[in-house]
Structure 1
Amino acid sequence: MKFLVITCCCIAIQILGTAAEGTDYYVGHWTTGVNFTQWSQGRVFHAGDILIFTVSASDTILRVPKSVYDDCNWDLRFPKIFPHPGNTTWNETVVPWVGENYYVSSVQDNCNAGKKFMVSVESPPVYTPTEYTVGDDRGWAPGVDYSQWTANKNFYFGDSFRFLFNASQHSVVEVWEPGYQLCNESYFVPVLGLASRQSDGRTLLKVVPPLGMRYYTSANGNDCQSGLKMELEIKPQYEAFAPSPSPEEAFSPTGGVAGQETSAGYRSMTSLGSGAAIVVLLLLAIV
């Protein structure tokens, strides 16, 4: 049985998913007698974090420039962040921007008394993709334990995988999960990647898998049954970074610490962009 390797160039539009993890900080009551500056100092905030306060219409929060923050002197140019009819209290959120954010009480006397705080927000971290050579020096060949090779490795969206193999003896195909264990050829599908011939005669196929579980094997002979196969889990990029802070402390209406009022909720937000990439479709057909 022979295998015909056909390559053709095409343009693929990739949907690039980037994700950032945000934390909900339940700060507590927006009231006098609480040192909000002390609360915010020493904490690291990231893009996507939000601050949740219990406020009232009689005293809400203003976002102001630093000069106004320093001397508590302003006019009506700065709208209240939480316009709300009536004198009841309610929970509202502050969404800081990247950079330094300055907030003061809408009551000038309270601002002069220290009811204000500054939050510095860092830009979200940027993930740098990693390039892996499958099987390291041994490449893509029988006799390599690829479950051991993937063990203790974390793979993220954007990472690339270099398959080095003898194209006259082996191949690379993707397998739908139901056929992975049984090596059922009806579940084999073509692989998208960039193929090139190396100086040692082997073929190099570079693959950038999408998110989720991915399964690879060889369609030649009994390669799959002999163990020439590999499964990968491709995770979102935000999971590559350290987890968000542990739950924060909140302040009670009297200015004390009220940890019962606080919990930190973690949110995952995904943004989508598109980019064009030239890929080579490697088709393996039995002839």
Structure 2
Amino acid sequence: MMSTSAPLLHLASAVLLLLLSSSSATDHIVGANKGWNPGLNYTLWANNHTFYVGDLISFRYQKTQYNVFQVNQTGYDNCTTEGATGNWSSGKDFILLDTAKRYYFICGNGGCFSGMKVSVLVHALPPPPKSSMADHTSAAAPPPRVLGVLFAALLSVCFGLG
């Protein structure tokens, strides 16, 4: 018997992607076409991207070999997962960057020592241009990007996607 939550999850994911794509959120694929693998310079990769609240960071890798842990700076510096605040192992992980802060990610099964770690600074969304602020009243609907972030947070809570 097929689970009834699977079609709902696919529908919710499709709606999330539509909201995020229509709201100009960016999906930053770590390592681009080389993915999450040892021996790559992820500091250089991160320095060539600008991250904003509501963007996604995606990790693509062999799920039988690697994983992703969100850690603090100490965990990042020492390649340890102690006190990790998140972990993923699907091989195609999408992580919502929902707060303006520095995020730290490492591979938790040894890959960190071979360079599989990345730190990204997430910036608050820039304010809209003044001309567009004058055109809207305070009762206007929130911008699509905000709706995308809220929907992603709801999905994360309901389906454990984060």
**Given that residues 67 and 87 in structure 2 are in contact (C-alpha distance below 8 angstroms), is that contact kept between their aligned partners in structure 1?**
no
Paired residues for 1:1-287 under 5 Å: 128-191=24-87, 203-210=91-98, 211-220=100-109, 222-238=110-126, 275-276=150-151, 277-279=154-156, 281=160
**Structure 1 residues 174 and 212: alpha-carbon distance in aligned structure 2, compared to 1, 3 A threshold:** same
Q: Which amino acid aligns with 2:155?
A: I
**Given that residues 212 and 233 in structure 1 are in contact (C-alpha distance below 8 angstroms), is that contact kept between their aligned partners in structure 2?**
yes
**Given that residues 72 and 84 in structure 2 are in contact (C-alpha distance below 8 angstroms), is that contact kept between their aligned partners in structure 1?**
yes
SS in 2 for 1:206: strand
Q: Give ranges in structure 1 of 5+ residues lacking alignment.
A: 1-8, 10-126, 197-202, 245-271
Q: Give ranges in structure 2 of 5+ residues lacking alignment.
A: 1-8, 10-22, 131-145
**Structure 1 residues 140 and 281: alpha-carbon distance in aligned structure 2, compared to 1, 3 A threshold:** farther
Structure 1 counterpart of 2:136? none
**Given that residues 191 and 282 in structure 1 are in contact (C-alpha distance below 8 angstroms), is that contact kept between their aligned partners in structure 2?**
no
**Structure 1 residues 282 and 166: alpha-carbon distance in aligned structure 2, compared to 1, 3 A threshold:** farther
Bigger proportion of residues as helix: 2
Cα RMSD, aligned residues only: 3.0
Structure showing greater Rg: 1
Q: Which amino acid aligns with 2:125?
A: Q
Higher normalized contact order (CA 8 Å, seq sep 6+, divided by chain length): 1
Deviations 1:217-271 (A, max 9, x none): 1111x211221000000101117x78x8xxxxxxxxxxxxxxxxxxxxxxxxxxx
Using the aligned pairs only, state the percent identity: 24
SS in 1 for 2:126: helix
Number of aligned residue pairs: 121
Give how far 1:153 is off: 1.9
SS in 2 for 1:237: coil
User: Normalising by structure 1, what TM-score?
Assistant: 0.37
**Given that residues 52 and 97 in structure 2 are in contact (C-alpha distance below 8 angstroms), is that contact kept between their aligned partners in structure 1?**
no
* Structure 2 CA distance for aligned equivalents of residues 212 and 229 of structure 1: 17
SS in 1 for 2:45: helix
User: Normalising by structure 2, what TM-score?
Assistant: 0.63
